[in-house]
Amino acid sequence: MENEIQLPKILNVRSLEDSDIDFELISEQLIKAGFQVEISRAETEIVYTSLIRGKNFDIILADYMLPQFDAFKALNLCQEYCPDIPFICVSGSIGEIKAIELLKNGAVDYVIKDRMERLPFAITRALDEAKIKLEHKKAQEALRTSEERLRDILFSTADWVWEVDSQGKYTYSSQRDIDLFNVAPDEIIGKTPFDFMPADEAKRVEVIFSKIIGNKDQIKDLENWNIGKDGQLICLLTNGVPIIDNDGQLKGYRGIDKNITERKHAEQELITAKDRAEASDRLKTAFMNNISHEIRTPLNGILGFSQIITDPFFSDVEKEGYYRMLNESCDRLLNTVTNIMDISLLTSGNQTLIKKGVFVCDMISDIIQKFSMSCQQKNITIYMLENSKICLHTDEGILNRIFHQLIDNAVKFTTQGKITIGCEQNKSEFHFFVKDTGIGISEEYKSRIFGNFEQEDFASTRKFEGTGIGLSIVKKSVDMLGGKIWLDSEKGKGSTFYISIPVSN
């Protein structure tokens, strides 16, 4: 039987023994059993402590009772300095109760000295157990390291790792949910993904999830919007795989969510920018077509009527009418060119301010006078709420341009009724308004009315003439004066444009 014992090539032993005879018996028994022994002996606590603090030994054999030192103290020192080394008590005086207590405290075995033949087997079993424990310890350490590495990866990754059961309730959540929802993982457990979604989004995604779960399919790049921390909406990209048991039953899903909110916002900004660019391109095309029309039409009138008035065939009365039409064509062409020049100066930033005292009511009266004939022809009453005391230190040309454009628009889009202009000083601002009973402005167009190249009707068959840049000129001019402009209008019921300009600007 002795030959069946698997022995190490060299057995390095630390022996706590104060009896020379017993020490010799132990050595002889090990050599007899076939061990190649290297044994170091200690008889006192100091020597014993020094020996076990060294390295490269396999086992400790300790007598139970030495003067002022026993096996319990020796075991404690072993557990302190070399906890992985097997400890066997070899004694002739230890009782059963003490032996059991020693085993409970961590000794692997005990051998009675009058049965020393058991020692080789006890050592072999102790070394095998120590090897198994060491391998188990290494495996546990490797597992712990692996788990720590996995936790570090999960903690550092931008993705949220999760697991849900067959009911869709979270059973696991990585730390990333703190960044997404400002809740700890244990606050996620037991909830479902739909608990974090707006109601409409939850209904939409639930239909998709039901189909995926019913087929036990993978979840692939499913975009879904959630209510994140601080109430902000976040978009998550969800991917997951089904968890199937041995019977083919669905136990749940395991997967990851990636926060793609910034990407979705960027995509939306690109779409918006593309739409704006396309809209701007359409507007510019329509604007150029309109400009072509606004230049060609009065030019054709000028050329045509200039030939007619030199023809002696026509009477003086007829020629007077043609003269008036010729002047109207010239005015229309001049107004078109002026608008183009004005918007170019304002857009390029080359418009300069020349400020002086301006009596606003006198200036407006002069503008009204220019439109008096047009108003008479359309049966429009135009008047100003008189306040001749208002004097504004500003650029007269720019202010004149503002009111000329607003009054021109009011006359153009009013078929009959009245146009009212008002002005007054209110604290630190001058307030003005131009009110008409014309066609009004639709709600959809109000938000775009002051933009470049904007006109509510750009169709070639439109009823009203003009370039469509008048209100853009007004807005940029008001901005130059440090003021504000806004409107109140209802389709079919007229419009009122309001302007405020600081007293000191």
pLDDT in tens, 218-245: 999 999 999 988 888 999 999 999 999 9
What pLDDT is recorded for position 241? 94
What confidence category does residue 152 fall into, taking pLDDT thresholds of 50, 70 and 90?
A: low
* Nearest 10 degrees: Cα torsion 288, 289, 294, 296: 110
Phi-psi group of 457: left, alpha or beta (phi > 0 → left; psi -120 to 50 → alpha; rest → beta): beta
Could you tell me if residue 278 is inside a domain?
no
Judgement on whether residues 254 and 288 belong to the same structural domain of the protein: no
Judgement on whether residues 76 and 135 belong to the same structural domain of the protein: yes
Are the C-beta atoms of residues 107 and 89 closer than 8 Å to each other?
Answer: yes
- Residue that terminates a domain, selected from 195, 224, 259: 259
Res. 55: pLDDT tops 70 = yes
Could you tell me if residue 130 is inside a domain?
yes
Token pair listed for 226? 């959630």
Res. 418: pLDDT tops 90 = yes
Judgement on whether residues 162 and 114 belong to the same structural domain of the protein: no
Mean pLDDT of the chain: 83
* Nearest 10 degrees: Cα torsion 468, 472, 473, 476: -170
Token pair listed for 251? 């136990």
- Mean pLDDT across the stretch 348-374? 87
Could you tell me if residue 370 is inside a domain?
yes
The better pLDDT of the pair 66, 178 is held by 66
What pLDDT is recorded for position 250? 93
- The residues pairing with 13 across neighbouring beta strands, listed in sequence order, are 39, 59
Q: Any idea which of 70-74, 127-131, 219-223, 347-351 has the lowest mean pLDDT?
A: 347-351
The better pLDDT of the pair 275, 419 is held by 419
Could you tell me if residue 317 is inside a domain?
yes
Judgement on whether residues 11 and 123 belong to the same structural domain of the protein: yes
Judgement on whether residues 320 and 225 belong to the same structural domain of the protein: no
Domain extent, residue 46, equals: 2-139
Task: Supply φ then ψ for residue 290, to 5 degrees.
Answer: -65, -45
Judgement on whether residues 339 and 397 belong to the same structural domain of the protein: yes
What confidence category does residue 190 fall into, taking pLDDT thresholds of 50, 70 and 90?
A: very high
Report the helix count and the strand count for the chain, using DSSP H and E: 15, 19
Judgement on whether residues 304 and 431 belong to the same structural domain of the protein: yes
Q: 42: domain CATH number?
A: 3.40.50.2300
Could you tell me if residue 268 is inside a domain?
no
The better pLDDT of the pair 210, 465 is held by 210
Give the three-state DSSP class for 82: coil
- The percent of residues above 90 in pLDDT, for the chain, comes to 33
- Residue that terminates a domain, selected from 139, 171, 188: 139
Res. 194: pLDDT tops 90 = yes
Q: Quick count: other Cβ atoms within 10 Å of Cβ 119?
A: 22
Residue 444 and residue 440: Cα distance in Å, rounded? Answer: 12
Judgement on whether residues 177 and 306 belong to the same structural domain of the protein: no
Res. 39: pLDDT tops 70 = yes
Query: What residues have CB less than 8 Å from 340, skipping those under 6 apart?
Result: 291, 467, 469
What does 376-437 look like in DSSP terms, one character per residue?
HHTTEEEEE---TT-EEEEEHHHHHHHHHHHHHHHHHT-SSEEEEEEEEEETTEEEEEEEE-
What pLDDT is recorded for position 428? 83
Could you tell me if residue 450 is inside a domain?
yes
pLDDT in tens, 254-302: 998 999 999 999 999 999 888 878 766 765 666 666 666 566 676 766 7
Q: 354: domain CATH number?
A: 3.30.565.10
pLDDT in tens, 70-93: 999 999 999 999 999 999 999 887
Residue 498 and residue 192: Cα distance in Å, rounded? Answer: 54
Nearest to 479 by CA among 363, 398, 386: 398
Could you tell me if residue 264 is inside a domain?
no
Are the C-beta atoms of residues 484 and 420 closer than 8 Å to each other?
Answer: no
What pLDDT is recorded for position 459? 46
Residue 178 and residue 182: Cα distance in Å, rounded? Answer: 4
Could you tell me if residue 153 is inside a domain?
no
Judgement on whether residues 135 and 186 belong to the same structural domain of the protein: no
- pTM recorded for the entire structure: 0.42
Q: In this structure, are strands 159-165 and 380-384 parallel, antiparallel, or unpaired?
A: unpaired
Judgement on whether residues 288 and 375 belong to the same structural domain of the protein: yes
Token pair listed for 396? 């007269």
What pLDDT is recorded for position 294? 63
- Mean pLDDT across the stretch 372-377? 88
Judgement on whether residues 134 and 167 belong to the same structural domain of the protein: no
**Number of domains, the chain:** 3
Nearest to 365 by CA among 328, 323, 331, 403: 403
What pLDDT is recorded for position 458? 45
Residue 497 and residue 104: Cα distance in Å, rounded? Answer: 96
Are the C-beta atoms of residues 249 and 242 closer than 8 Å to each other?
Answer: no
Judgement on whether residues 356 and 436 belong to the same structural domain of the protein: yes
Are the C-beta atoms of residues 484 and 499 closer than 8 Å to each other?
Answer: yes
Q: Any idea which of 19-23, 76-80, 155-159, 334-338 has the lowest mean pLDDT?
A: 155-159
- For the chain, the residue count is 505
- Mean pLDDT across the stretch 177-194? 84
- Mean pLDDT across the stretch 408-424? 90
Residue 245 and residue 486: Cα distance in Å, rounded? Answer: 67
